[in-house]
Amino acid sequence: MKNVRELAVDALLSIEKNQSYSNLLLNHYLDQHKVQKKDAGLFTEIVYGTVQRRMTIDYYLAPFIAKQKKLQDWVKILLNISLYQMLYLDRIPERAVIFEAVEIAKKRGHKGVASVVNGVLRSIQRNGVRSLDDITDEIEKISIATSHPKWLVEKWVEQYGLEQTTLMCEQNLKPPFQTARVNTHKATVEEVMEMLIDEGYNVVKGEVSPYAIVLKQGNLAYSKVYEKGLLTIQDESSMLVAPSLGVEIGQTVYDCCAAPGGKTTHIGELLKGTGKVFATDLHEHKVKLIVSQATRLGLTNIEAKAYDSRKVQDIFEHESFDKVLVDAPCSGFGVIRRKPDLKYAKSAKDIEQLATIQKNILTHVAPLVKKGGTLVYSTCTIDKEENMEVVSEFLKEHPHFSLDAEFRNLIPEVAHKYVENGMLQILPHYFNSDGFFIARLKRQV
């Protein structure tokens, strides 16, 4: 049976070769290999941490492997996870890290490979790693120090400036707390917090959303409170989207691109069992997730269907909905803390293509909004090309829509200072939450 570090090498190989997403792959490995609870934390830490800091580790490792013939992929990954533990995990002695790495190298390769691994790691132990201060170019320094591709750092510096970009990139290296939204259709935040504390969870109120509970350690998805349908696991920034619609009792709402249903169910809760939420998503298996969550939460006012939101005019008549939510597919650069491999997987061309898809979806769902109704556009990215620029182009082509000044009154006061021209952009370091964008548009009567 493989130990945690051998499994980490396998998992990281799969992420690199198969372009697997780390968050999905981790759960698969934990289940398939029946990793015990006491080891699951270390396995997750090594895999996530090594992906998160890959470019920094490569920078540190490069001088020590420069004279080696081309290393096999698994040997390079073994060195990477070992260096990650030596540099970033205080509780594991360096001698233990090196011993484990050499044993894995012997088992997986041969004595020669083990000798190389031992030599590289002991040399780093003796000499230390080079300083990041040796990098004179500011952009490159942020890129290497925080493991973000240089083109991305350049783009963000253009959009937000050097200081904000540095803060954002540094924040992306920090592990996120788990947050959950209380189903206020069934109980108050205070009541749910008491139940969780009785179950032994260490929870506090959120700082941004009035519906949020923040967990200090553990997983609320295993709580009895979650099982009873009183909670949904969701980031605080994401919890601002549904209230931005300003739904009123009895209204009809359309949520396109809705899976896995976090915002759909929030809208259902805000309607307090009245009205109707129609939710669509491109993939049938993802629609099942929406149905499953609505059932768990006891929401009967949600109807979900697999459908391409660019063709919805085939099934819904014009001006059918009081409110429409477009939580658009995006680069996901606001959730890098949760999905660290995203920053290496996306390219500038991907962003261009996504912006085109986003505009296309907005154009196709806009006719469904009633006169005087509301269209909310949101993404979990911080890229202006996918956010402000998409909204700006949509408004140019759809003059019967305009940015809604009422938007500010629908979000918590703590976020007001980040609203600009009727649009809210939350960067990850503002509230220690996901980066998120929300724009509320009004259709003229």
380 is annotated as an active-site residue: yes
| Pairwise CA distance, residues 368 & 441, whole Å | 13
Q: Do residues 339 and 21 touch, judged by C-beta distance below 8 A?
A: yes
Q: Do residues 238 and 258 touch, judged by C-beta distance below 8 A?
A: no
- As given in the structure block, the two tokens for residue 380 are 């979990």
| Pairwise CA distance, residues 62 & 77, whole Å | 13
- Residue 19 CB coordination number (10 Å): 10
| Pairwise CA distance, residues 16 & 249, whole Å | 49
- As given in the structure block, the two tokens for residue 32 are 């398939």
Pairing of strands 252-256, 276-281: parallel
Catalytic residue, chosen from 169, 256, 330, 380, is 380
Q: Do residues 258 and 305 touch, judged by C-beta distance below 8 A?
A: no
- Residue 161 CB coordination number (10 Å): 10
Asked whether the CA dihedral 227, 329, 429, 23 is positive or negative, the reply is positive
Pick the closest to residue 101 from 204, 6, 196, 224 (CA basis).
6
Binding residues for S-adenosyl-L-methionine: 257-263, 281, 308, 327
DSSP state at residue 372: E
What SS3 state is found at 196? Answer: helix
Q: Is 342 exposed, middle or buried (0-12, 13-18, 19+ CB in 10 A)?
A: buried
Binding residues: 257-263, 281, 308, 327
19 phi-psi bin (left φ>0, alpha ψ -120 to 50, beta other): left
Active site residues: 380
